[in-house]
Amino acid sequence: MSLLDHKISELHKLLHKKEISVTDVIDASYNRINAVEDKVKAFVTLNEEAARAEAKELDNAAKTERGLLFGLPIGVKDNIVTKNLRTTCSSKILANFDPIYDATVVDKLKAAEAITIGKLNMDEFAMGSSNENSGFFPTRNPWNTEYVPGGSSGGSAASVAAGEVLFSLGSDTGGSIRQPAAYCGVVGLKPTYGRVSRFGLVAFASSLDQIGPITRNVEDNAYLLQTISGLDPMDSTSANVEVPDFLSSFTGDVKGLKIAVPKEYLAEGVQEEVRGSVLAALKVLESLGATWEEVSLPHSKYALATYYLLSSSEASANLARFDGVRYGIRSDNAKNLIDLYKQTRSEGFGDEVKRRIMLGTFALSSGYYDAYYIKAQKVRTLIKQDFEKVFEKYDVIIGPTTPSPAFKIGEKTKDPMTMYANDILTIPVNLAGVPAISVPCGFSNGLPLGLQIIGKHFDESTLYRVAHAFEQATDHHKQKPAL
């Protein structure tokens, strides 16, 4: 049994009793990476020398007070900036970018005494649903390396599923934590918008992006969210709300809990095995004392179009800063300043990034702004109101995380619209700004399936209570890929 097969609470005890050292834990992480990374390809950059030095320092420190994640190995998605540790967003345009500061979440990880093992592969600038849009190489699903791990946080989910790190950070703009978590059979949470600081997260769509935890089990997920949550004066969208003790959520009691199941989330396009796994999960929660009813989120059918208009519009503005002047690569073929912009962006950005910049620029252009961007903002409000109406009567909303299990690498790369549809069940959550968690709930042909639990604004505690109760009543989370 690897040390990384233990829960955080178990490792805490072993470290406290000095039955193991921090160096032992970090060794276990790098040994596993050396054993399986050539198959999984989850990491873009490793931080081995600095991580081992940190481990020795923590082992030699005479201290009674220890951080919440003392000595534990974590992987960080490569769009979260890390001081003196390369941050590329898996894009050639940032292939040489070494930040001079840490993101707020990284500062919080350091304060909790976690150790960053390396930076994780992703779809370029978080634009994608399969990790095939990485500017360097695709990450592979540990359950079957011929299949995608999901995206854009594919490296984050795959590294946890493969046992390379204890947990990881991802970012979620339209499902980019929950969808890969479902595909890789791990637990992924998208917090309420504003719960976690975005300072130091390279922006894709600023009104949608959220950093969140990916872990093997629900309890570990709460440890990580506890660490990274809170108001940040460096982020104007950070919410000034109290951070509860998420670790006290695990009561196991869901008696009287009212669950809403949107008929749109189990409609045409959702595979029969996925639908069956969700209904089986509802029966488990019923046996624990919860009740459920079918409801409607009528504007969900417009979510996909709304999301791609809004996110691409924000991306076209956010990515204007990558111009070859301030940081990142610079074209050697430019003849003048305008040519420098054009050549650098043409050479540095991948096809998917260019596609979304063009769509966003079109939606924001004169004559089309009202017809597309403003209309999409109005529909976003209707989607948010759908959720608010349901939450007047129900505690949580439950459905599948994805309409199908993972697909084969290369299967959908030539069909962007089909690829976009993989996020159809996760996108409404980001548009409404509410929290949601994906937990393993079954398998289809050896590939994991995910159950999505959606909650009220800043009510991650209820999500954890429900997810943990379901997890304890099943054994899906105990299954591991045979790499």
Specify whether 478 is catalytic.
no
pLDDT at position 418 is: 66
pLDDT per residue, tens digit, the chain (483 aa), is 789 999 999 999 999 999 999 999 999 999 999 999 999 999 999 999 999 999 999 999 877 789 999 999 999 999 999 999 999 999 999 999 999 999 999 999 999 999 999 999 999 999 999 999 999 999 999 999 999 999 999 999 999 999 999 999 999 999 999 999 999 999 999 999 999 999 999 999 999 999 999 999 999 999 999 999 999 999 999 999 999 999 999 998 999 999 999 999 998 889 999 999 999 999 999 999 999 999 999 999 999 999 999 999 999 999 999 988 888 889 888 899 999 999 999 998 999 999 999 999 999 998 899 999 999 999 999 999 999 999 999 999 999 999 999 999 998 877 776 666 678 899 999 999 999 999 999 999 999 999 999 999 999 999 999 999 999 999 999 999 998
287 is catalytic: no
Q: What's the rounded Cα separation, in Å, for the pair 248 and 255?
A: 17
Place of tokens 């032992």: 24
Q: Which two tokens stand for residue 346?
A: 């043409």
Active site residue 39: no
Conformation bin of residue 73: beta by default, left when phi > 0, alpha when psi is -120 to 50: beta
Classify the phi-psi angles of 89: left when phi > 0, otherwise alpha if psi is within -120 to 50, otherwise beta.
left
- Active-site option among 77, 108, 119, 190: 77
d(CA 3, CA 25): 6
What does the pLDDT read at residue 135?
Answer: 95
Strand partners, 170: 212
Show the CA angle centred on residue 120, arms to residues 118 and 126, nearest 5°.
Answer: 145
The alpha-helical segments, DSSP class H, found in 414-476 are: 416-420, 427-432, 460-472
- What is residue 158's predicted lDDT score, i.e. its pLDDT? 98
Catalytic site residue from 91, 129, 152, 438: 152
SS3 call for 206: coil
- The pLDDT assigned to 62 comes to 76
Place of tokens 């008929």: 263
């209309």: which residue's tokens? Answer: 375
Residues 6+ positions from 156 with CB-CB distance below 8 Å: 42, 75, 77, 120, 122, 168, 169, 170, 177, 180, 214
Kindly report each contact of residues 342-346 with a partner whose C-beta sits within 8 Å and lies 24 or more positions away, as own/partner.
Answer: 344/93, 345/93
Task: Give the C-alpha separation, 435 to 152, whole Å.
Answer: 18
Residues in the chain: 483
From 176, 277, 300, 461, active-site residue: 176
Nearest residue to 281 (alpha-carbon basis) of 445, 436, 426, 441 = 441
